[in-house]
Amino acid sequence: MSPDGVARKSIDGETGLATEGEPVYGEPTADGWRLWDRSRSKLAVLLDREVETGLDDGSTVLYLGAASGTTVSHVADFAGPTYAVEFAPRPMRDLLDVAADRENLFPLLKDAREPESYAHVVEPVDVIVQDVAIRGQADVALANRQFLREDGRLVLSVKARSEDVTRDPEAVFEEVEERLAEGYEIEYAESLEPFHDDHLGVVATPE
Ligand code: SAM
């Protein structure tokens, strides 16, 4: 089930998911709708597959690894309060511009490995979306579990090469899933290919 604020549209000869909002990265637009490019967004791949992410219209979201706002801008188009954590100042500058058009998007220049540094700002959330691409991706998800409502969901993108460039991605994914199981029950874990090589898409619920 997808949120009503995410629809399938054909724009400029391309068909795919779209949200209603101000354009951000040169994506095709029509009548206020903007196409959501699966090759630039791991979350779009999951929504396109109709995976139950828990995201709905008005959901409260904690987004870890917002970068310059490509994916989180689409999320904020249909979600409720959307807290966007990014620790690199350069993409944060772009993210601030994206947030200027979205009053429900709250950029936080913080390190997702230090959730105590934003715990005073972030309320309990329905969904954590995580796409940080650093070593220790399961640890980041476990550290931020405290923000997730009991019936909430974690939507995690795991980049194998960020954990260890030399190892077989399947072995890395297995290890990440094992670590994640220390705080979450995994509902879905599938490769995000062909859109994102060596990435695993995971949906999990807190245990
Ligand atoms: N999710 C983005 C999208 O789809 O538009 C792309 C995210 S990019 C793959 C990963 C981002 O995570 C980078 O901008 C990086 O600076 C950020 N990041 C990595 N480690 C982080 C951390 N510990 N805390 C906050 N941001 C982090």
> Is the minimum distance from the CB of 41 to ligand 1 under 6 angstroms?
yes
- Residue 86: domain span: 37-206
| 178 three-state secondary structure | helix
Return binding residues: 70-71, 86-87, 111-112
Q: With a threshold of 0.95, does the pTM exceed it? A: yes
Q: Return the amino acid letter for 49.
A: R
Q: Per residue in 90-121, pLDDT tens?
A: 999 999 999 999 999 999 999 999 999 999 99
Q: Provide the mean pLDDT of the chain.
A: 97
181 phi-psi bin (left φ>0, alpha ψ -120 to 50, beta other): alpha
Domain count for the chain, please give it.
1
Residue 48 lies in a domain: yes
DSSP code at position 181: T
Residue 14 lies in a domain: no
Average pLDDT over residues 175-204: 98
Residue 31: count other Cβ atoms within 10 Å of its Cβ.
8
Nearest CA to ligand 1 atom 14: 67
pLDDT value of position 116:
98
Here the CATH number for the domain that contains residue 76 is 3.40.50.150
Q: Return the amino acid letter for 135.
A: R
Cis amide prior to 115 (ω within 30 degrees): no
Q: Per residue in 137-171, pLDDT tens?
A: 999 999 999 999 999 999 999 999 999 999 999 99
pLDDT value of position 2:
77
pLDDT higher than 80, residue 1:
no
